[in-house]
Amino acid sequence: MKKRDFISLHDWSAAEIAALLTDAAGLKAKRKARVPQALLSGKTLALIFEKPSLRTRVTFEAGMTQLGGHAIYLTPQDIRLGERETVADGARNLSRWVDGIVARTFRHQMVVELAEHASVPVINGLTDLLHPCQILAALLTIQEKRGDLTGCRMAFIGDGNNVANSWCTGAAKTGVHLTIACPKGYEPDPSILHEAREDAKGTGARIQILHDPTEAARGADVVYTDVWSSMGQEEERAKRLKVFQPFQVNRALVELARPDVIVMHCLPAHRGEEITDEVIEGPHSVVFEEAENRLHVQKALLVTLLTGRL
């Protein structure tokens, strides 16, 4: 079987992403019904984490356990990849021992280098540039709540960060009409935006960037937000709090959307900053359903990459 990686949604076709979501829904149903899912018996997954994590670590470890496999968690202190030895050497060593690698890093290039030199599948668990696993979970959640993704109107309110970058591609691949509202100077990566708009030609998706959150939220089916200061941006926090204050997802903003709007957040949330308690605990919020779905989409991804089948 030819090795396949999951670095960006751009590398996967619309049909392949749809298949992953279908597989994830099937695995979720089996989990709820307590049907055994030992599809990865005897498989081992290495987790390379430079950043702390709740959802990514637990969902990949729990997913491997539920599928009959095993995960090994590696901190920067364990291996110091790129310092104690080169990324290429680390990739070639790990490839001799494990069946797959998940990397959660600061530099996107580190995940790219791992994929280039590893002979086993490499999954992007998050980088400063992209967060594709989160978008898979969000897409599954929207599909569950609203049905067909095509034509869904989504407003992303906040920073044009790694989640927004991956949303550009995820929307383009699935026909979601995406509007990102961010302060001037905080737009998504221009090259990713251009790439996504090229992808969107095949699905009819529309991707636009605005600087008015109320315009973006008006009539939206989905309102999505993320933290204003990501890991590694602590020094910018005070400035960002002032710049992003008009982009808070609060009741007034949500009321501009459709009456049946769903509100999403990839978590962790800074309550009272990018989103209010009233909204995250309110009737439109599906943030914890989205968090649960990280488990199911990643299980589908692991089965696909580590076995090539379901």
Q: Choose the catalytic residue: 131, 153, 177, 284.
A: 131
Identify whether residues 201 and 248 lie together within a single domain.
Answer: yes
Q: How far is CA 292 from the centre of its chain?
A: 13
pLDDT, position 233:
64
Q: Which domain holds residue 295?
A: 9-131+291-307
How many separate domains does the chain show?
Answer: 2
| Confidence class for position 75, pLDDT limits 50, 70, 90 | confident
Identify whether residues 107 and 232 lie together within a single domain.
Answer: no
1 belongs to a structural domain: no
Assess whether 104 carries a catalytic annotation. yes
Q: Using the predicted structure, report yes or no on whether residue 28 has a pLDDT greater than 90.
A: yes
Mean per-residue pLDDT for 267-284? 97
Assess whether 133 carries a catalytic annotation. no
Assess whether 34 carries a catalytic annotation. no
Identify whether residues 96 and 29 lie together within a single domain.
Answer: yes
| Confidence class for position 123, pLDDT limits 50, 70, 90 | very high
DSSP string, the chain: -----BS-GGGS-HHHHHHHHHHHHHHHHHHHTT----TTTT-EEEEEESS--SHHHHHHHHHHHHTT-EEEEE-HHHH-BTTTB-HHHHHHHHHHH-SEEEEE-S-HHHHHHHHHH-SS-EEEEE-SS--HHHHHHHHHHHHHHHS--TT-EEEEES--SHHHHHHHHHHHHHT-EEEEE--TT-PPPHHHHHHHHHHHTTTT--EEEES-HHHHHTT-SEEEE--SS-TT-GGGHHHHHHHHGGG-B-HHHHTTS-TT-EEEE-S---BTTTB-HHHHTSTTB-HHHHHHHHHHHHHHHHHHHHHS--
Q: Report pLDDT digits (tens) over 107-117.
A: 999 999 999 99
Angstrom CA distances, 58 to 20, 137, 213, 235, 286, stand at 20, 14, 33, 28, 19
Identify whether residues 259 and 163 lie together within a single domain.
Answer: yes
Assess whether 117 carries a catalytic annotation. no
Identify whether residues 167 and 180 lie together within a single domain.
Answer: yes
Q: Choose the catalytic residue: 66, 134, 143, 248.
A: 134
We report the CATH number of the domain holding residue 80 as 3.40.50.1370
Q: Report pLDDT digits (tens) over 229-269.
A: 876 666 788 899 999 999 999 999 999 999 999 999 999 99
Q: Using the predicted structure, report yes or no on whether residue 25 has a pLDDT greater than 70.
A: yes
Q: Using the predicted structure, report yes or no on whether residue 309 has a pLDDT greater than 80.
A: no
Q: Choose the catalytic residue: 266, 284, 296, 298.
A: 266
Mean per-residue pLDDT for 175-182? 98
pTM for the predicted model, two decimal places: 0.96
Assess whether 294 carries a catalytic annotation. yes
Task: Provide, rounded to the nearest whole percent, the portion of the chain with pLDDT above 90.
Answer: 91
